[in-house]
Structure 1
Amino acid sequence: MSRRPAHVTSGPYAPPVPARELSVVSADGARLHVEVHGPDGAPAVVLAHGWTCSTAFWAAQIHALADDHRVIAYDQRGHGRSPASTACGTDALADDLEAVLLATLAPGEKAVVAGHSMGGMTVMAASARPAFRAHAAAVLLCSTGSSRLVAESTVLPLRPGRLRTWLTRHVLGSRAPLGPVTPAALRILKYATMGAGSSPHMVEACARIVHACPRGARHAWSQVLYVLDLDDAVRELDVPTAVVVGTADRLTPPRHARSLVAALPRCVGLTELPGMGHMTPVEAPELVTARIRELVATYVGPHTAEGPAGVSATPPAARTAHTPQTAQIKEGA
Structure 2
Amino acid sequence: MRLPDTLRPPRPTRVLRVRSADGTMLHAEVHGPEDAPTVVFSHGWTCSTLVWLPILRVLGDSIRAVLYDQRGHGRSETPRRSGYSTTALADDLCAVLHATVPRGTRVAVVGHSMGGMTLMAAADRPEFRSRVAAALLASTGSHELVPGAHVVGGPSLLRSAFHRMLLTAPLPLGPITPLTRAGLRYVTMSPGSSPEMVDLCVRMVHACRALPRARWGAVLRDLDLSAAVPRLDIPTRVLVGTADRLTPPFHARRLAEALPACEKLTLLPDLGHMTPLEAPEQVSAELQELLRSHVAPAAATDSAAPPLEEAQ
The answer on whether the counterparts of 2:71 and 2:78 sit within 8 Å (CA) in structure 1 is: yes
- Return closer, same or farther for 1:26/1:307 CA change in 2, 3 Å cut-off: closer
Partner of 1:110: 106
Counterparts of 1:179 and 1:212, CA distance in 2: 10
* RMSD, aligned α-carbons: 1.4
**1:48 corresponds to 2:49:** no
Change in 2 beyond 3 A, CA 1:307/1:32? closer
Structure 1 residue 196 displacement after superposition: 1.6
CA contact (8 A) 1:175 1:215 kept: yes
Opposite residue 63 of structure 1, the aligned amino acid is R
- Measure the CA separation in 2 of the matches of 1:304 and 1:255: 40
Corresponding residue number in structure 2 for 1:143: 139
Q: In the aligned structure 1, how far is the partner of 2:102 from the partner of 2:166?
A: 43
Corresponding position: 1:176 with 2:171: yes
Among candidates 215, 234, 238, match of residue 210 of structure 2: 215
Amino acid at match of 1:295: L
Helix, strand or coil at the partner of 1:268:
strand
How far apart are the structure 2 equivalents of 1:57 and 1:28?
Answer: 26
Aligned-pair CA distance for 1:8: 4.9
User: Higher helix share goes to which structure?
Assistant: 2
Residues 12 and 59 of structure 1 are in contact (CA less than 8 Å); yes or no, is this contact kept in structure 2?
Answer: no
TM-score, with length taken from structure 2: 0.94
Q: Give the residue type in structure 2 aligned to 1:40.
A: E
TM-score where L is the length of structure 1: 0.88
1:308 shift after superposition: 3.5
CA offsets per residue over residues 54-78 of structure 1, 9 Å max, x none? 0011001122334121100000000
Structure 2 unaligned segments of length 5 or more: list them: 306-312
**Does 2:24 align with 1:26?**
no
Hey, what's the Cα distance between the residues in 1 that align with 2:299 and 2:234? 17
- Is 1:124 matched with 2:120? yes
Give the letter for the 2:66 counterpart: I
1:275 aligns with 2:270: yes
Q: 2:130 aligned with 1:134, yes or no? A: yes
Matches of 1:8 and 1:117 in 2, distance apart? 26
Matched, 1:93 2:89: yes
1:255: how far off?
0.4
Identical positions, percent: 53
Q: Please report how far the alpha carbon of residue 130 of structure 1 lies from its aligned counterpart in structure 2 after TM superposition.
A: 0.4
Which residues of structure 1 form unaligned runs of 5+? 1-6, 311-333
Query: How many equivalent pairs are there?
Result: 303
User: C-alpha deviations, 1:25-78, integer Å up to 9, x for none?
Assistant: 001111000000001121100000000000011001122334121100000000
CA distance in structure 1 between the partners assigned to 2:150 and 2:230 by the alignment: 26
Q: 1:172 deviation in Å?
A: 2.5
> What corresponds to 2:309 in structure 1?
none
